[in-house]
Amino acid sequence: MVAHEGVLDAFGHVSMRHPGDPNRYLLSRSRAPELVEPGDVYEFTLDSEPVSAPSSVRMYGERVIHGEIYKARPEVMAVCHHHAPSFMPYCVSGEEVVPVYHLGAVIGAKAPFWDQRDDFGDTNLLVIEPAEGASLARALGPHWVVVMRRHGATVAGRSLRECVFRTIYSCRNAEYLTQAKMIGRPSPLNSREIQRAEAYNLGEGPVSRAWEYWVMRLDKDGGMPPRRATRQAAARTARPSAGGNKRAGAAKRPTKKTKTRRK
């Protein structure tokens, strides 16, 4: 879904904390997000070790991003790491990402920066070592979006849907912020507006409305997981046709009576 909305491409990943065990999380094997199927998802410890997976299966090298954030933030239930084109100018320039419209308030009051050079010097810019993931989690702190210098961004949420909502709309906000800088001086939301708009937009109504819309777009493009497509096909097969109902419920036509002539 996040890939279909233009945030993820061949790289990046989304995870969720295990619904039955807070000390584990669920994440796909190493694969382009838009290609991920249910069978690609594996279970990991918070140390980012696979619980039960064949040694031949290749995992994301940066999975420590997820594990270390789950360790540091018990209330976080989902994490997305991306390199969205809308965010990259801010990752490169160091310009702050601020909310500039109501849905952008889901970024929160601040999106802090994390510069890998500060703690680790010259690296390949990937977050592979647990210490690197822990450093990123500290930079995120109590916030929901952290901007990674020369790399991308990482987003957290109190549910999977919230994380997806925040990821997509924080990217939309970054697009509008850049466009506003090109034509004038942006007027960002103030702290009270951010607080109020964030609380409203993360309510069940707005999140469900957006989720339904993204599901519809994905379904129209044939991108829904196989299990859902199978259920939908089964439901269509089980549903009686209108013609069948009509035939079954139609009353028997009366036979035409012939008039008897009097003799």
Q: Which residues are catalytic?
A: 62
> Under 8 Å CB-to-CB from 13, ≥6 apart: which residues?
27, 28, 33, 60, 62, 63, 66, 80, 81
SS3 helix, strand, coil % of the chain, rounded to 5? 45, 15, 45
DSSP string, 181-208: HHHS------HHHHHHHHHHHTSHHHHH
> Under 8 Å CB-to-CB from 247, ≥6 apart: which residues?
none
**Residue 36's CB: how many other CB atoms inside 10 A?**
17
